[in-house]
């Protein structure tokens, strides 16, 4: 099969060296392996800019959704109420999780191209004192919009509520000072900006809040507290761990450090993203999100006026030339998406633009 690079928001294109780590079938109970898990957990705390005394990391099998569901179904107790702030599919997905787990919740929804307003969140919290937790997505991958978690964190904390952030597609690619923002639970996964392969998610959380959640989980396998309790002993996972994924992730963390950590990676993503947006204008293709809220991870593009091609035709043409792009997901406009996270560099963006030029000339 012909290879191509992924311009999708995860899984993404990983380095050869990250993939090569998976050639080893590692034993799970052995000391070396448990040490790798512990090193990963420690390293993630550093990336989140949190102290080891206050925060801890839990690794959870499954994709990112499993991580978010683990947090919501484990920490929002039967006497609690959750406010879900949503402006896209991933925010909405949290409400489906709440439904399934029987969590008492209320929603504050904004359109896919608008950021939730912190004052509005403050008002909702004031009006409904029964709310105990607030959850929201940082980088809404549906649209590519970057939400203002800083402003929302301020009002959530001022009201004394717990703040849960889905930073799936931003953690590692955007600087997030988790302790400064006083975030209680923040979730991401192996196959996004850390540039590993899919197989587990990770949760960085306040130890105190995690401890308080003991016994509240509605699911056995997604019990966040139990997962932590087992892992905390010596790094052994509670159930079979995705060994190959863990080895690849450890390597990906090293490579993130070599690149210059989050600051350097963030700069690369941002520059490539803005270059792509500038270049696409020549084809009459503009972003769905306003520049001020456009994040550096993925861009939703509106089709040019009076276009006479289908997404599939465009996708096939580009794939044939070495890149895979992504269909649109927002509900109120006809769009397609291009991600720029992973092992993607300036030359890839330039090549992609040339491919688009060729496509439009045809
Ligand atoms: C990728 C992603 C998820 C998790 O999706 P999975 O398909 O379970 O990996 C959750 N939230 C956001 C914002 C994401 O980008």
Domain ranges of the chain: 5-9+260-361, 16-257
In angstroms, the CA 182 to CA 154 distance is 9
Of all protein residues, the one whose alpha carbon is nearest to atom 2 of ligand 1 is 168
Ligand 1 centroid–CA 168 distance in Å is 6
Number of other CB atoms surrounding residue 254 within 10 Å: 15
Ligand 1 centroid–CA 10 distance in Å is 8
Ligand 1 atom closest to Cα of residue 167: 13
Q: Is there an atom of ligand 1 within 6 Å of 195 CB? A: no
Q: What is the pLDDT of residue 10?
A: 84
Q: Is there an atom of ligand 1 within 6 Å of 64 CB? A: yes
Q: Is there an atom of ligand 1 within 6 Å of 168 CB? A: yes
Q: What CATH number has the domain spanning 5-9+260-361?
A: 3.90.1150.10
Ligand 1 atom closest to Cα of residue 137: 13
Number of other CB atoms surrounding residue 117 within 10 Å: 16
Count CA within 13 A, CB hemisphere, residue 249.
30
Cis bond leading into 11, ω under 30°? yes
Q: What is the pLDDT of residue 2?
A: 81
- Looking at residue 23, the DSSP 8-state letter turns out to be G
Best residue for ligand 1 mutational test, from 64, 146, 171, 295 (most atoms within 8 Å of Cβ): 64
Q: What CATH number has the domain spanning 16-257?
A: 3.40.640.10
Best residue for ligand 1 mutational test, from 96, 169, 326 (most atoms within 8 Å of Cβ): 169
Ligand 1 centroid–CA 350 distance in Å is 28
Task: Tell me the pairing of strands 5-6 and 82-86.
Answer: unpaired
Q: Is there an atom of ligand 1 within 6 Å of 328 CB? A: no
Q: What is the pLDDT of residue 266?
A: 98
Best residue for ligand 1 mutational test, from 70, 85, 166, 341 (most atoms within 8 Å of Cβ): 166
Of all protein residues, the one whose alpha carbon is nearest to atom 3 of ligand 1 is 64
Q: What is the pLDDT of residue 1?
A: 73
Beta bridge partners, 139, equal: 146
Helix runs in the chain, H state only? 16-20, 31-47, 64-75, 89-101, 118-127, 149-158, 207-212, 224-234, 243-259, 261-280, 311-320, 346-361
Best residue for ligand 1 mutational test, from 8, 10, 95, 198 (most atoms within 8 Å of Cβ): 10
Q: Is there an atom of ligand 1 within 6 Å of 141 CB? A: yes
Number of other CB atoms surrounding residue 281 within 10 Å: 10
Q: What is the pLDDT of residue 306?
A: 86
Beta bridge partners, 298, equal: 339
Instruction: List Cα–Cα distances, 15 to 65, 197, 210, 324, in angstroms.
Output: 24, 10, 34, 16
Q: Is there an atom of ligand 1 within 6 Å of 110 CB? A: no
In angstroms, the CA 330 to CA 170 distance is 19
In angstroms, the CA 58 to CA 67 distance is 9
Tens of pLDDT along the chain (362 residues) come to 789 999 998 899 999 999 999 999 999 989 999 999 999 999 999 999 999 999 999 999 999 999 999 999 999 999 999 999 999 999 999 999 999 999 999 999 999 999 999 999 999 999 999 999 999 999 999 999 999 999 999 999 999 999 999 999 999 999 999 999 999 999 999 999 999 999 999 999 999 999 999 999 999 999 999 999 999 999 999 999 999 999 999 999 999 999 999 999 999 999 999 999 999 999 999 999 999 999 999 999 999 988 899 999 999 999 999 999 999 988 888 999 999 999 999 999 999 999 999 999 98
Of all protein residues, the one whose alpha carbon is nearest to atom 4 of ligand 1 is 64
Q: At what angle do helices 31-47 and 243-259 cross, to 10 degrees?
A: 40
């Amino acid at each position: 099969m012909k290879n191509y690079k992924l311009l999708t928001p995860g899984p993404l294109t990983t380095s050869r060296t990250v993939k090569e780590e998976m050639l080893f079938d590692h034993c799970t109970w052995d000391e070396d392996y448990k040490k790798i898990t512990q090193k990963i957990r420690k390293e993630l705390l550093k990336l989140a800019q949190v102290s080891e005394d206050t925060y801890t990391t839990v690794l959870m099998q499954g994709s990112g959704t499993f991580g978010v569901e683990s947090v919501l179904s484990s920490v929002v107790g039967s006497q609690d109420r959750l406010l879900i702030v949503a402006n896209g599919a991933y925010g909405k997905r949290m409400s489906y999780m709440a439904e399934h787990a029987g969590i008492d919740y209320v929603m504050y929804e904004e359109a896919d191209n608008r950021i939730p307003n912190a004052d509005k969140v403050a008002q909702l919290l004031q009006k409904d004192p029964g709310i105990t937790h607030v959850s929201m997505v940082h980088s809404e991958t549906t649209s590519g919009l970057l939400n203002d978690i800083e402003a929302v964190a301020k009002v959530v904390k001022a009201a004394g509520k717990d703040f849960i952030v889905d930073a799936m597609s931003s953690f590692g690619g955007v600087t997030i000072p988790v302790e400064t923002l006083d975030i209680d639970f923040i979730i991401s996964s192996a196959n996004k900006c850390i540039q590993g392969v899919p197989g587990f998610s990770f949760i960085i959380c306040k130890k105190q809040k995690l401890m308080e959640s003991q016994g509240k989980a509605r699911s056995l396998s997604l019990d966040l507290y139990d997962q932590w309790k087992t892992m905390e002993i010596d790094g052994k996972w509670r159930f079979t761990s995705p060994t190959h994924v863990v080895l690849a992730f450890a390597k990906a963390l090293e490579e993130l450090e070599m690149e210059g950590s989050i600051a350097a990676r963030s700069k690369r993503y941002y520059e490539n993203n803005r270059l792509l947006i500038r270049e696409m204008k020549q084809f009459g293709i503009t972003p769905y999100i306003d520049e001020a809220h456009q994040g550096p991870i993925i861009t939703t593009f509106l089709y040019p006026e009076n276009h006479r091609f289908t997404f599939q035709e465009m996708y096939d043409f580009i794939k044939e030339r070495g890149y895979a792009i992504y269909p649109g997901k927002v509900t109120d406009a006809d769009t397609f998406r291009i991600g720029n996270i992973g092992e993607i560099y300036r030359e890839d963006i330039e090549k992609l633009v040339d491919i688009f030029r060729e496509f439009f000339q045809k």
